[in-house]
Structure 1
Amino acid sequence: MKRLYLFLLIVFGVVTIFGCEEDSKDNELVMEGIVAKVDDREVFIYEELEEDAMILSEEEVISKSLQASYFGFDTEISGIEVGDKVKVWYDAMDASLPRSGHGTKIELINK
């Protein structure tokens, strides 16, 4: 009986260890949006609205309570301007309004 319990404990442990392994490509956190503000290492983007084709400022985005996020990066951001549509990969996000997160990669979608 002790051998059965030991066997079950080992099997459970192996399943737990390998079953919890994450594939980072399947679990990437990504946000697409329009750039409202960009600095050396920070970008503020908001989700594009179908009916609103205007480029909004940071203050307008906040006052309209749009889904928006600040992303800080470890390296300088280059080639990104206000009004650009971008895709941002991130690894952490808080629950404040507007949200704030740590960006790992930024890519220009179209100019």
Structure 2
Amino acid sequence: MKFRTITAAAALMLAAAGCTTEPVNPVSDDQSTMAEIMCEEFIEKRLKAPATADYTDPTTSKDGATYTVAGAVDSENGFGAKIRTRYVCVVRSDGDDMWTLVDLDLGDK
């Protein structure tokens, strides 16, 4: 299991969305949409052609500061064919726009 943290991307997305910079309580505040965005960032780092990624109907569940996002991503493989890959991504909000990847299953095992 690898742990990674993305901070700058989250801060930029919040700023672009016009969100305030009030402190976020990672346990009580619902950040489901941001969890989905962060999972997309982590998934795209593993795709052959991330610019071709299209996400389908993600579902998100929350347990404290940890979010599980499940869905499918359609993207081109190394041969240029569009394929669908199911994923389960678990991320944790560490507050202050910091996110940690807890687990990522791209169905490629």
Give the TM-score of the pair, scaled to structure 2: 0.27
Give the TM-score of the pair, scaled to structure 1: 0.27
Task: State the structure with more CA Rg.
Answer: 1
> Going by fraction, where is strand more abundant, 1 or 2?
2
Greater relative CO, 1 or 2 (CA 8 Å, sep 6+): 2
